[in-house]
Amino acid sequence: MAPSNPLRLPMGNRLRRLSSMTATERDIKEGGPVVIVPERMMAQRSQSHHGSFAASLETARNELVAIDLEEEAILSPISSSPETPGSPITPVDVPTTDAFAFAFDIDGVLVRGGRPIPEAVEAMKVLKGKNEYGVKVPYIFLTNGGGKTEAERCIDLSRQLDIEISPAQFICGHTPMREMVERYETVLVVGGEGEKCRQVAEGYGFRDVITPGDIIKDNEATTPFRKLTAEERANSRKRDYGKTRIEAIFVFADSRDWAGDIQIILDLAMSKGGYIGTLSKTFEEGPPIYFSHNDIVWSAAHGNVRLGMGALRKIVEMLFNDLTKGKELETIAFGKPQIGTFEFATRLLQQWRKDEHRINRPPETVYFVGDTPESDIRGTNQFNERSKNEWYSLLVRTGVFQEGTQPAYTPRITVDTVLDAVKHGMKREFSKKMKGVTDGIPANSLALKHSSLNGDPAVGTKTPILEVSESSSEVGTPPLCSRSSV
């Protein structure tokens, strides 16, 4: 079966809403865009859709858009939906801004050690409309993490933060690896829990996926101190790996067995054409090696940062150089800070705003909130240099970055938490919109608050909506990865 191209985002289908408590990966894959919704919100939503004029209007609009999304350019965005005069702002009838959006890193920003950072839950409520400006703000997630399918990460995050999340809002470190399925027949997939990454790779469309466990099962002498558990032995697939050509190595997620995985990666890197057990004379015949990101450290439950995939990459390259007496190993990394990852994020955000919010133009500003200067801040700043709309970097103090140190890449602003980041971005937007407003208009005008953010030129000075660069609408042309060598 031909795999779907990940860079072609779902279009024209109505979003299905599934409960975070009962949704399964199978439900999510059944077809069309999906939103994972906390159970209590499923109940609230169904109640709110009875008796609310604005909600009825939204439902009707959704029906219309489901018939032909391509005609949406002539429809008013939700943001301009009329409100019942004098009615209080509720999550159902809060308009959505089309002027700006947020993108979030996850580990160290929203979640740490599997637990939500407390301010993150409140920050999500603010974006959903619980704010003094009375608007909702679209957002996406861009993590270098992985080891699970996008659908599973989405269910996890929905439960942790108690919010609706769709896989269509989500980019994992390994998401761009989907593009490689046509290029390689037999691949080694490294990292993650148990069989998880094999399943993710097969889900992407890779046809023949081998794991380090398979190779150890075939020849236990491969890793002298690593013995397979009974479960690993049962799951691992026996075959004669000396006769199997491995065409590429993909490190999908953090290794759970550095010694064994490094041994097998180096065995292949030094092999004759990807045949395990052989040794090349030139050390130039090994398969290409891809890493889903290059973060040296990351923010986990421990008080200090922990070693990440970028550290494994460095060690593999360094050992190859040492063992081959000076040969360089060129490996490839995806994820932030690569420009291609941010271009992919731009397309994802555009599609998400279109599908979920009926907004058919790019935001003027995207606020990117991260905790790692080397990937989050570096990537955002570099992308801002070339993107026609503004990418604004915000560094938080809840993760990798430690107060008192100088970040390797300077953010536009450093704040304590993701909640402060969201508040800063919203305040900055309203300051921008306030600029140029005559003194005769009250600063606290609700009309200004709503209409100016949603592009009504009648109030305030409208900043021209900037177009996203031409290249970002093309699929696969920009480099999604970086090469490195020792």
**Closer CB to Mg ion, residue 133 or residue 141?**
141
Asked if 33 interacts with Mg ion (CB under 5 A), we say no
Select the span of 98-106, 231-239, 311-319, 379-387 touching Mg ion (CB under 5 A).
98-106
Q: What's the residue count for the chain?
A: 486
Helix (H, G, I), strand (E, B) or coil at 210: strand
Asked if 429 interacts with Mg ion (CB under 5 A), we say no
**Closer CB to Mg ion, residue 33 or residue 145?**
145
Asked if 150 interacts with Mg ion (CB under 5 A), we say no
Q: Which residues of 180-206 are buried (b: 16+ CB within 10 A; e: fewer)?
A: bbeebebbbbbbbeebbbbbbbeebbb
Distance CA 155, CA 348 (A): 18
Select the span of 42-50, 101-109, 192-200, 451-459 touching Mg ion (CB under 5 A).
101-109
Q: Is the peptide bond before 442 cis (omega within 30 degrees of 0)?
A: no
Cα 177 → chain centroid: 13
**Closer CB to Mg ion, residue 108 or residue 191?**
108
**What residues numbered 119-138 form the site for Mg ion, per CB under 5 A?**
none
**Closer CB to Mg ion, residue 97 or residue 372?**
372
Distance CA 345, CA 235 (A): 35
**Closer CB to Mg ion, residue 107 or residue 364?**
107
> What's the Rg (C-alpha) of the chain?
24
**What residues numbered 169-208 form the site for Mg ion, per CB under 5 A?**
none
Select the span of 62-70, 108-116, 316-324, 463-471 touching Mg ion (CB under 5 A).
108-116
**Closer CB to Mg ion, residue 214 or residue 420?**
420
Closest separation in Å from C-beta 220 to Mg ion: 37
**Closer CB to Mg ion, residue 359 or residue 396?**
396
Residue 302 structure tokens: 């421990």
Residue nearest to Mg ion (CB): 108
Asked if 105 interacts with Mg ion (CB under 5 A), we say yes
| Residues sharing a CB contact under 8 Å with residue 369, sequence separation 6 or more, in sequence order | 102, 103, 104, 105, 109, 376, 394, 396, 418, 421, 422
**What residues numbered 336-395 form the site for Mg ion, per CB under 5 A?**
371-372
The phi, psi pair for 323, rounded to 5°, reads -70, -30
Using the rule CB under 5 A, which residue among 6, 108, 167, 335 binds Mg ion?
A: 108
159, 163, 168, 174 alpha-carbon torsion, rounded to 10°: -40
Closest separation in Å from C-beta 35 to Mg ion: 24
Q: Which residues bind Mg ion (CB under 5 A)?
A: 105, 107-108, 371-372
